[in-house]
Amino acid sequence: MAEVDTLRRFVFERYPFRGQLVHLGPAWQAMMEHHDYPAQVRDALGEAVAAAALLASTLKFEGLLTLQLRGQGPMHLMLVECTEGLRLRAVARFRDPPETRDLRELSGNGTLTVTIENEGAGNRYQGVVPLSGSSMSECLRGYFESSEQLPTRLWLHADGDNVSGLLLQRLPVTSRPVTATESGGGVLPEDEVEDAWRRVQLVADTVTGKELAELDDSKLLHRLFAEDDVRMFESAPVFFRCRCSRERVENMLRALGRKEVDSVIEEFGQVEVRCEFCSRSYRLDAVDCTALFTGPGNPPRPPAAVH
Ligand SMILES: [Zn+2]
């Protein structure tokens, strides 16, 4: 049995490569509970969820990693957010039930945007690439090849019950201390590292969705990298946790403006805001809405901190 709702890091003892495995079962099912996506949209979103968790855990940041896909196709928006503590939420919007599983067709030749808001350091990074493949893993391959980041590959699988993923990343050789006892001392020749990097990718290309979904981490790593000395670390939990709150809804309504809010009250007697990620519903009556614009907290405060 595969792990559930966990992320596990591993390293290759001989090479400057590291990897991660992620599995979401109950967390993924909870994420999809209030959504009725066609299977193609659900699985594309699931792969993006696995990818976001894997990417977030390769980074040292304190904030939010966002994977966003926008296009003109049947699935015109996909948005996944992951915090540094591996708290995830995700949403997709689609117009027509799509017939394809090709991500470029699904999204209508969309673009993929990766944003990292590092609140700890107070900076923000954003990379935008056109979709360069038929799946999220191929598109991310294009993303990594076109940016000046560490060589990174992902293998992803999603269905109605689980999402899983494998990430491999090649580190700069200098970042890995080589001890005198290791491989006779010194740094490995570059061409040996290059050959090994090519080999581990070819091996990982043989992994099936079923294996990613069903094998536990040690079995999967043994199946793939039996000839390598791979060291696994303790796994970390992954969560579905929405960041919506009444306070955020109130700030959003304040930003919308009193005129707009009053007109909704006039027509419906209340304002109902449903969170698109988790379907939680927030209701404000006329008194609540008046308080929004006259009570404490005015003028509008900046949006509440994420988390
Ligand atoms: Zn929510």
What CA–CA distance (Å, rounded) separates 255 from 4?
40
pTM: 0.89
Distance (Å) from CA 278 to ligand 1 centroid: 4
What CA–CA distance (Å, rounded) separates 253 from 251?
5
Query: Which residues surround the ion ligand 1 when the cut-off is CB under 5 Å?
Result: 242, 244, 275, 277-278, 280
Distance (Å) from CA 280 to ligand 1 centroid: 6
Report strand pairing: 87-94 vs 239-240: parallel
pLDDT tens digits, residue range 35-65? 999 999 999 999 999 999 999 999 888 999 9
Tokens 């927030």 -> residue: 282
pLDDT tens, residue order, the chain (307 aa): 677 899 999 999 999 999 999 999 999 999 999 999 999 999 999 999 999 999 999 988 899 999 999 999 999 999 999 999 999 999 999 988 888 999 999 999 899 999 999 987 889 999 999 998 999 999 999 899 888 889 999 999 999 999 999 999 999 876 455 554 544 556 788 899 999 999 999 999 999 999 999 999 999 999 999 999 999 999 999 999 999 999 999 999 999 999 999 999 999 999 999 999 999 999 999 999 999 898 665 655 555 554 4
286-294 and 246-256 helices, crossing angle to 10°: 70
Amino acid at the residue 224: L
Tokens 């698109």 -> residue: 276
Distance (Å) from CA 246 to ligand 1 centroid: 10
Distance (Å) from CA 71 to ligand 1 centroid: 24
Q: Is 211 helix (H, G, I), strand (E, B) or coil?
A: helix
Count of alpha carbons within 13 angstroms of residue 18, beta-carbon side:
16
Distance (Å) from CA 248 to ligand 1 centroid: 10
Distance (Å) from CA 135 to ligand 1 centroid: 27
pLDDT tens digits, residue range 243-272? 999 999 999 999 999 999 999 999 999 999
Q: 12 CB contacts (<8 Å, ≥6 apart)? A: 18, 19, 196, 200, 225, 228, 229, 230
